[in-house]
Amino acid sequence: MPVLHPRNLPAGALGVVALYLMWLAPDRIYGIDSGALGSGILLATAWLVIWLWWRVRDAAAEYASLGQQLAALGLFFSIAIGISFASRLHASGWTLDAAAADAWKLGRNVLLMLILWPISAAILRSLRRDDGIEDERDRAIAARASAHAYAVLAIALVALVVQLGFGGVAFQALATPFSIAHWLIGLLLLATVAEHLSATLQYRSQQP
């Protein structure tokens, strides 16, 4: 069951609209809080995806294993959170004030997506029932993906430390404790993307 099947397009379109409203749109649209509106649409999209999974769970099981589906789900959420997180930081000049409204909105939107992610994974596991038992291949792929994530995180941390030490006065002026905390969160998101991308590619390469 390809991801780009026509039945999946409405959910994809709603997801794009929700992410735009949560992260990139002006604060208010026609007097409505765009972040709250985007959050509502994202929740509705999550329920639509759950319903679609329920309708096509047998076909999905033939197309991909549970491990591959969880890896693809994690890749989607981690990329969505990472791009949105980076876009919001870029819009604020790569620095945040703990008392600023942007910081609260950033935390709210990230928290919502981090809640939806494990809930979606748990529902996917329940739909697969006994077919979702982890085997040696899953454990081997997970181990290699974790190793790739650690390598990406280590390289990114070294790059950040070097930049903090030699980035000049302009960069160091941005490096408030609150901003550095968000940069570290961004590096963790980057490592998470690398982990799920590695797992997804490994599953794809081993698919008959």
pLDDT digits (tens, 9 = 90+) for 177-203: 888 888 899 999 999 999 999 999 998
Residues 6+ apart with CB under 8 A from 51: none
Question: Please, which pLDDT band fits residue 57 given cuts at 50, 70 and 90?
Answer: low
Write out pLDDT tens, residues 18-46: 877 776 677 777 777 777 787 778 777 77
Instruction: Give pLDDT, residue 4.
Output: 43
Beta bridge partners of 33: 28
Question: Please, which pLDDT band fits residue 1 given cuts at 50, 70 and 90?
Answer: very low
Mean pLDDT, the chain, rounded, equals 79
Residues 6+ apart with CB under 8 A from 182: 89, 96, 106
Instruction: Give pLDDT, residue 100.
Output: 64
The C-alpha atoms of residue 106 and residue 166 are separated, in whole angstroms, by 28
Question: Please, which pLDDT band fits residue 150 given cuts at 50, 70 and 90?
Answer: very high
Instruction: Give pLDDT, residue 177.
Output: 84
Question: Please, which pLDDT band fits residue 131 given cuts at 50, 70 and 90?
Answer: low
Write out pLDDT tens, residues 104-124: 777 777 777 788 788 878 877
Q: Using the Cα atoms of residue 65, residue 66, residue 68 and residue 69 in order, give the sign of their dihedral.
A: positive
Residues above pLDDT 90, as percent of the chain: 20
Contact predicate 166/48, CB 8 Å = no
Closest CA to 207 of 92, 45, 69: 69
The C-alpha atoms of residue 154 and residue 135 are separated, in whole angstroms, by 29
153 has pLDDT over 90: yes
